[in-house]
Structure 1
């Protein structure tokens, strides 16, 4: 029988849809199927084959509570309380959910000067304290630091990660924006990188966008974008394209061709 050939069975299972229920149900057919479907080498091939993992849902943080909303259809929809995270804050300022990327969630609390990196699937969490210069963290970003060839982002639970924190301060009529990078492999924060803008009253938007190896943030109340090149370790400010709004209703996106694009909400339309 063809399915008695392990190599052929691997190729068949490899082509199942990437949503978790399909591979799970296949693993229940027989012990041999389960052995293949749970084999780490096969799972790496499965992730590389599909490249982009399926979206399970999204998180929001409101009224001091982190909420999860599943995007899967019934009967595979994940209950809202499936990913619990208890957060404590001792001051008036609540935690802020600032990023979710490569399977990890990132929250910051500027008053407590703390950063939480949380993996919802494994429950692992890391509590970090940024360098002393970050008195009032504007925002931060998290990303997988795995660099091996063929790594498919999304199932990065055992991979190292990096956290980029962003802050700014005013000197005279200028604004200095600076960043520092935490590497989980070393447990060390990098030296500060900074850049100066010849204007005041500028804030860094919460949402970061990763395109290639570069993180980008909109600079609110200005016509600029903050760019941080992770490979070159350079921080720069560039002009927004004409017509892109300078408030928080616009955000940077990755375009279909892999380049940088923009999306703006202008009720009742998104363009």
Structure 2
């Protein structure tokens, strides 16, 4: 009589198990079931070492959703995972302790959100996961007389992340604005809790409007759209302003339906829409070192998103770029039927809301893993 076949034990090699689990999508929902298998699996998926390995493997944090400014209060719309419930509740509790009492989103980057008061007197740096807040007063020399303002919150380590200590890691806030024929910039550092010197440069004309849409962080530079044919560049290393030209004959066809982004290879890029076509451009250097704009992709959205063929009202735009992920890996598109999120790399998409009134959204990306059934999350950038 042969002995019964011994049952194959579960994976005992934690390195092998870790290698398998690290391929799961970097969302909290991906690890809720493995954490319930046994105590060993639960300990593994909550271990900081595994989370660092997961982050190193996936590199780019998932976009959990987006913030948008509404007439009554800012709001959050989740795109994936259960973390959206927590964030949506937290944003509703944001209040400003002064007249007006309302915050407006300006930027989301490196796991933090940047908000402003209506009059730009105050800025608020906020971590939506931990709730940590830093209130910053804007100097009079920055806001008084400014025609157009924009700002960005940055982690010094940039796209490489901050190693997990998001709450305590230093950050910088860059404020840019125009006044007359000049563009200005000023940087706040959380390390010294102070503003630096105000720097400026001339603009091509007084009509160069600094757009309100979020900029792009590429290498050591921040970029914002300026007017119809220029991009404003701010270099953090030496805090210098410069202009990047956009060939007017190419980009004028997009009008305002265009955004700056960090393209593949960490170069400056543009995402633009003409009618129902999404165009992805990159600013590349040839063998002689001469930079030029190159069209990388053209995505026909009408068939992909199954949009109705009926023409929109006269003067309206059928598809509008409302927001971009930090790496340009996610595009939010407002259409005549609702807001879609599109992943250009995989061509996956889904509708996230039927609200057709949102012009600008602020995508929020972060690795986020709740601790079992606890209400307190385990997080890292």
TM norm. shorter chain > 0.5: yes
- For residues 179-194 of structure 1, the aligned pairs below 5 Å read 179-194=185-200
How many Å separate the matches in 2 of 1:39 and 1:187?
Answer: 33
Report the counterpart of residue 109 of structure 1 in structure 2: 117
- For residues 99-138 of structure 1, the aligned pairs below 5 Å read 99-109=107-117, 111=119, 113-135=121-143, 136=146, 138=149
Q: Note the C-alpha offset of 1:255.
A: 2.6
Matched, 1:167 2:177: yes
Q: CA RMSD in A?
A: 2.8
Matched, 1:176 2:189: no
- Would you say how many aligned residue pairs link Structure 1 and Structure 2? 262
Q: Note the C-alpha offset of 1:92.
A: 6.2
Please give the per-residue CA displacement for 1:60-87, whole angstroms capped at 9, x wherever unaligned. 01113111111117xx473373433422
Matched, 1:35 2:46: no
Q: Note the C-alpha offset of 1:99.
A: 0.9
- For residues 12-161 of structure 1, the aligned pairs below 5 Å read 12-72=20-80, 76=82, 78-79=84-85, 81-84=88-91, 85-88=93-96, 90=98, 95-109=103-117, 111=119, 113-135=121-143, 136=146, 138-146=149-157, 151-152=160-161, 157-158=166-167, 159-161=169-171
Q: Which has the higher contact order (CA 8 A, sep 6+)?
A: 2
- Unaligned 5+ segments in structure 1 are none
How many Å separate the matches in 1 of 2:51 and 2:28?
Answer: 12
**Contact 1:229 1:235 (8 Å CA) reproduced:** yes
Matched, 1:225 2:231: yes
Report the counterpart of residue 235 of structure 1 in structure 2: 241
**Contact 1:64 1:95 (8 Å CA) reproduced:** no
Report the counterpart of residue 251 of structure 2 in structure 1: 244
- Secondary structure of 2:139's match? coil
- Does the C-alpha gap of structure 1 residues 256 and 190 become closer, same or farther in structure 2, counting only changes over 3 Å? same
- Secondary structure of 2:211's match? strand
- Does the C-alpha gap of structure 1 residues 93 and 134 become closer, same or farther in structure 2, counting only changes over 3 Å? farther
Largest Rg, 1 or 2: 2
Report the counterpart of residue 217 of structure 2 in structure 1: 210
**Contact 2:232 2:242 (8 Å CA) reproduced:** yes
**Contact 1:146 1:160 (8 Å CA) reproduced:** no
